[in-house]
């Protein structure tokens, strides 16, 4: 048995799909298939049952998964023991929405770079569903998302300091001159929103409510926070945005504040990673740095089982 074959087997066993496993490993599909077949020939047993409905682990395959995890973990431990003890390396792939990528994570990434210079960090922007699915499927090591923590047995999460949000409008909009704005005041008002599935879109929909009655008019849907704030300043409509993204616009009077009474003014943030399976060497030190710079320090879901 070769370690590369065991690593490929473990990935296929997790994905139960050769195409998806090849994408995760950055291998050709034929290479993944050849490695699994070579491992089966070496062991003299079938590890997967193959049918039109896909792959399924055989009893032998199920037994091998645990051994593969332990052997690969021990190999990584041995590598660390004979090279640079205590200094993590490798790649750490992180997903996060645009707001956090631009405004919150740079200082954290800089701090982590100083502590762990051998870890190669890859940061990929994405919405909440994309990021959590990436972690769940092993494509990402960690993600930062807005909203409630994920309710999935394979995922662990840590609550962080929430992100303040505001509703802004073009500088001369009549709603910016009011002391308080209710949902009925927003009837027919043009709003610019983020894409479906984005946390800010969900907050907007929750604030508007599902009950029949007057509602704002969704004038446009944009995927970029930067584009949203620019379009608001240009007079296109109102928008719900992270306060940090429009702080400079508000300070110079390019946009105005809408005191929407029905809005929750903070968006909760969670860091999420896989509970089980092999973790990237840089994950735990990165979580430590995250706790130091962004952590709330007071809730029960911060343990790293």
Alpha helices in the chain (DSSP H): 3-15, 18-25, 29-43, 59-82, 98-99, 105-115, 128-136, 199-208, 225-233, 243-251, 283-294
Here the CATH number for the domain that contains residue 181 is 3.40.190.10
- Return all residues near 72 (Cβ < 8 A) that are at least 6 apart: 3, 6, 7, 10, 278
Would you state the pLDDT for residue 240?
92
Domain stops at, among 55, 82, 109: 82
- Residue of 6, 12, 22 whose CA lies nearest to 75: 6
Rounded to the nearest integer, the mean pLDDT of the chain is 87
Phi-psi region of 237 (alpha: psi -120 to 50; beta: other; left: phi over 0): left
* 284 & 150 share domain: yes
Q: How far, in Å, CA of 20 to CA of 17, rounded?
A: 5
Kindly state whether residues 155 and 184 are assigned to the same domain: no
How many domains are contained in the chain? 3
Residues 152 and 177 in one domain: no
For residue 303, the model assigns a pLDDT of: 38
**177 and 260 inside one domain:** yes
Q: Residue 263: what pLDDT?
A: 77
CB 225 within 8 A of CB 146: no
Q: Which long-range contacts (CB under 8 A, 24 or more apart) does 146-154 make?
A: 146/97, 146/199, 146/200, 146/267, 146/268, 146/269, 147/199, 147/202, 147/267, 147/268, 147/270, 148/268, 148/270, 149/270, 149/272, 149/301, 150/270, 150/272, 153/275, 154/274, 154/275, 154/276
The pLDDT tens digits along the chain (305 residues) read: 888 889 999 999 999 999 898 888 888 888 889 999 999 999 999 999 988 888 899 999 999 998 998 898 888 777 665 555 556 778 899 999 988 999 999 999 999 999 899 899 999 998 888 899 999 888 899 999 988 898 888 899 999 999 899 999 999 999 999 999 988 898 899 999 988 878 888 888 888 876 566 789 999 999 888 999 999 999 999 999 999 999 999 999 999 999 988 777 788 899 999 987 678 888 999 999 999 999 875 343 333 33
What CATH code is carried by the domain that includes residue 50? 1.10.10.10
d(CA 212, CA 200): 21
Spatial contact of 101 and 53, defined as CB atoms under 8 Å apart:
no
Residue 76 belongs to domain spanning: 3-82
């Amino acid at each position: 048995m070769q370690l590369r074959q065991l690593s490929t087997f473990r990935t296929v066993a997790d994905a139960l799909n050769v195409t998806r496993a090849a994408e995760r490993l950055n291998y050709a599909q034929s290479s993944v298939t050849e490695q699994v077949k070579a491992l089966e020939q070496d062991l003299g047993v079938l590890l997967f049952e193959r049918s039109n409905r896909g792959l399924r682990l055989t009893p032998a395959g199920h037994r091998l998964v645990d051994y593969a995890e332990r052997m690969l973990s021990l190999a990584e431990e041995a590598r660390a023991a004979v090279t640079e003890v205590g200094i993590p390396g490798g790649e750490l792939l992180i997903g996060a929405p645009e707001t956090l990528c631009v405004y919150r994570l740079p200082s954290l990434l800089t701090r982590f770079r100083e502590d762990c210079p051998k870890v190669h960090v890859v940061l990929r922007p994405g919405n909440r569903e994309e990021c959590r699915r990436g972690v769940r499927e092993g494509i990402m090591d960690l993600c930062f998302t807005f909203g409630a923590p994920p309710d999935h047995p394979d995922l662990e999460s840590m609550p962080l300091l929430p992100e303040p949000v505001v509703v802004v409008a073009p500088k001369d909009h009549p709603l910016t001159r009011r002391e308080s704005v209710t949902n009925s005041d927003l009837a027919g008002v043009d709003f610019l929103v983020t894409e479906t599935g984005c946390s800010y879109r969900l907050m907007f929909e929750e604030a508007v409510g599902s009950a029949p009655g007057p509602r704002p008019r969704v004038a446009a849907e944009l995927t970029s926070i930067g584009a949203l704030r620019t379009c608001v300043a240009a007079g296109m409509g109102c928008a719900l945005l992270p306060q940090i993204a429009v702080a400079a616009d508000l300070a110079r009077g390019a946009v105005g504040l809408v005191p929407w009474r029905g809005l929750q003014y903070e968006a909760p943030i969670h860091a999420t990673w896989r509970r089980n399976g092999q973790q990237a060497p840089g994950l735990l030190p990165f979580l430590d740095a995250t706790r130091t710079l962004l952590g709330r320090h007071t809730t029960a879901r911060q343990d790293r089982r």
